[in-house]
Amino acid sequence: MTTRAAPSAAPRRPARLPSKPRGWLCLALAVLVASFASPAVAEETTAGGVAVAAPPLPDSPASGSLAKKTPVMRQFNGRGFAFAPSRPELNAFRLGIGVQYDAIDPQVMYGFYVRVPQLALEARYGLGNGWSLKGHLNTILVINELTLGVGYTWQFGRWALEASGSAGVYYGRLGQLGFDAQFIAGEYRPELALGFAFGDLMLSVRGSLILLGPQRASVGELWGGFDNADAFAGHSEMLYIENTTASNALWYLGIGSMSTLAYYQLWLLFPDSPAFYTYPRLVAGYEF
């Protein structure tokens, strides 16, 4: 005969549920926190002891999203622009070929209505870390300007600011039509430029000071200086539009104002005039 034990009066404890895995939860939280951390401190260690770098912020320079977001930003950080502020990569090269036209009042030019555009060359060579070598040449035989310099560009999202300085030579000569005259001077140009990226277009404004000196001129075999020579030869303010293409090339247009001493543009007609003239300048060309 089987007998059953009397039920115990003590309450039965419920069965203990198995604990949830906490390792995966901690790892997920760590990855989530690391994804919002700064790239400078975004290094965490997993449970296995392997270092994992968290992804950089979407618009940080390390992510490269700004450099690849638009065609303009690709050029900005690639080969750069001839005129607009740029941060070209090391050894990148940009060459611009075009024309510039100074619309001087014919009355100032003693009634000469014919004004031939000048050939203009612009060059930029990337030194890396925001630095660039820059070169400029414009020529019309009677007037020639050649300058070389260096510039540095700061980037603020779509905005960019460039400070640059260049030095070179201004040379003019006329040996035809009964003339035998020439003018030569050292030329120096401190400049500031501000640019903004519009997607396929780069818009920039550039202000320049034009300094000349020492200045020498000759008529035949006789050399001398101008009576009213001044180191401050003028200033210019230009607006440029540079448009990207399907390739790495660009085309550009520019318009602005020049305010210069008379002999800066008309050294043969007004060698001793201290007057300043203001006239528009138009530029257009292609960048390779």
Q: Looking at the structure, do residues 162 and 130 belong to the same domain, yes or no?
A: yes
- Give yes or no: residues 72 and 136 share one domain: yes
Q: Provide the domain limits for residue 43.
A: 23-53
Same domain, 145 and 46: no
Show which of 53, 74, 99 is a domain's final residue: 53
- The phi, psi pair for 58, rounded to 5°, reads -60, -40
Total number of domains constituting the chain: 2
* Same domain assignment for residues 43 and 179: no
CA 174 vs. chain centroid, Å, equals: 36
Q: 107 pLDDT band (50/70/90 cuts)?
A: low
For residues 130 and 163, the answer to whether their CB atoms sit within 8 Å is: no
Q: What is the pLDDT of residue 138?
A: 96
5 falls within a domain: no
Residue 3 belongs to a domain: no
b/e per residue 120-135 (b: at least 16 CB within 10 A): bbbbbbbbeebebbbb
Which tens digits make up the pLDDT trace of 29-64? 444 444 434 333 333 333 444 444 444 444 444 334
Residue 184 token pair: 């030569």
CB-CB contact of 147 with 135 (8 Å): yes
Do both 41 and 106 map to the same domain? no
Residues 44 and 187 in one domain: no
Flag whether pLDDT at 127 surpasses 60: yes
Tokens representing residue 229 in the block: 């020579």
Query: Which has the closest alpha carbon to 240: 67, 86, 69, 115?
Result: 86
Residue 211: what residue type? L
The predicted pLDDT at position 275 comes to 81
CA atoms within 13 A on the CB side of 52: 17
Q: Whole-number mean pLDDT of the chain?
A: 80
Q: Are residues 34 and 96 in the same domain?
A: no
Backbone angles phi, psi at 202, to 5 degrees: -115, 120
- Confirm whether pTM is higher than 0.85: no
Q: What residues does 154 pair with on adjacent strands?
A: 161
Asked if residue 128 and residue 147 are part of one domain, the reply reads yes
pLDDT digits (tens, 9 = 90+) for 80-99: 999 999 999 999 999 999 99
Q: What is the pLDDT of residue 50?
A: 46
Residues in the chain, total = 288
Do 268 and 128 lie in one domain? The reply is: yes
Q: Is 90 exceeded by the pLDDT of residue 210?
A: yes
Same domain, 49 and 177: no
Least confident of 115-119, 121-125, 173-177: 173-177
18 located within any domain: no
Query: Is residue 8 in some structural domain?
Result: no
Q: Which residue has the higher pLDDT, 192 or 117?
A: 192
Q: What would the pLDDT profile of 222-254 be if each residue is shown by its tens digit? A: 898 887 788 999 999 999 999 999 888 999 999
Contacts of 81 (CB under 8 A, 6+ apart): 75, 94, 124, 195, 202, 204, 242, 250, 287
pLDDT of residue 54: 43
Q: Which of 18-32, 43-57, 120-134 shows the lowest mean pLDDT across its residues?
A: 43-57
Rg, C-alpha atoms of the chain:
33
Strand partners, 148: 135, 167
